[in-house]
Amino acid sequence: MYDFKGQTAIVTGGVRGIGKSIVEGFLRAGARVIIASNEVATEQFKQDTSEFADKIDIQICDVSKYEEVEKFFEYVDKKYEGFEILVNNAGIRKDAVLAMMRESEWHDVIDVNLNGVFYMCKFAVMSMMRRKYGRIIGITSPSGKFGFEGQANYAAAKAGLVALTKSLSREVARRGITANCVSPGFIATDLLQDLPDELRNTYIAQIPLKRFGKTEEVAACVLFLASKEAAYVNGSTLEVTGGL
């Protein structure tokens, strides 16, 4: 649908789940992709993206560690002329009701899902401002809007991500940079694999479209917000939830 030839996209956590579909979408649309990943690519990832092998660069980087993010951008600045797109996709869940939530479960989720986004945006924006063009997309969640039981840490981080993105969108708009969020509903990935069947069915009953979403359906919305055509969409959140 969109033409990203000559453009470079950075995607965090892009070797599986929603991130992998976003990476595949960019590659098919002609972009080069640099992945900041906590893990090496799986055989499945290599197989599925083999025709684009020369356009993928996977760098091990834990986005929750400031020094690793700094090193990642030093590498990118040295190796590439620049990049146009940043997708803050990496995210984790460590659910527990608040009274039982360990301090580490709170901090781990905030560290990856919110602090990691701050670190990535901080370095990316410096480079984008120099080139007077950029598209930043964060992956939030309905949990950040409604709050879900057992997700005080995740909901707080995802609401924070939306607020961060809105503030950033005002700061950088004059430099040709937009910042937006995509909010996927329940999407069938590893992140939801541990849901008990009963809870899964309860969630499906609440979704007007009566099914979980597909990773490609989220990727399509990310590609739209990353496109030149989306130039006037800024500071917004696009919900991909089946009407949840």
- Could you list the residues that contact ligand NDP (CB under 6 A)? 12-13, 15-19, 36-39, 62-64, 89-92, 112, 116, 139, 141, 184, 186-187, 189-192
Active site residue 154: yes
25 versus 91: smaller Cβ distance to ligand NDP: 91
Instruction: Note whether 193 and 148 are within 8 A (CB).
Output: no
Instruction: State the number of CA atoms in the 13 A half-sphere of 146 facing the CB.
Output: 11
CB of 226 to ligand NDP, least distance (A): 16
77 versus 95: smaller Cβ distance to ligand NDP: 95
125 versus 139: smaller Cβ distance to ligand NDP: 139
Quote the CA–CA distance of 179 and 194 in Å, as a whole number. 32
Quote the CA–CA distance of 4 and 225 in Å, as a whole number. 12
Instruction: Give residue 59's region: left, alpha or beta (phi > 0; psi -120 to 50).
Output: beta
4 versus 45: smaller Cβ distance to ligand NDP: 45
Active-site hit among 2, 119, 154, 203:
154
CB of 1 to ligand NDP, least distance (A): 21
Contact partners, residue 175, CB within 8 Å, separation at least 6: 128, 129, 132, 133, 134
CB of 214 to ligand NDP, least distance (A): 11
Quote the CA–CA distance of 69 and 90 in Å, as a whole number. 13
Indicate which residues carry an active-site annotation: 154
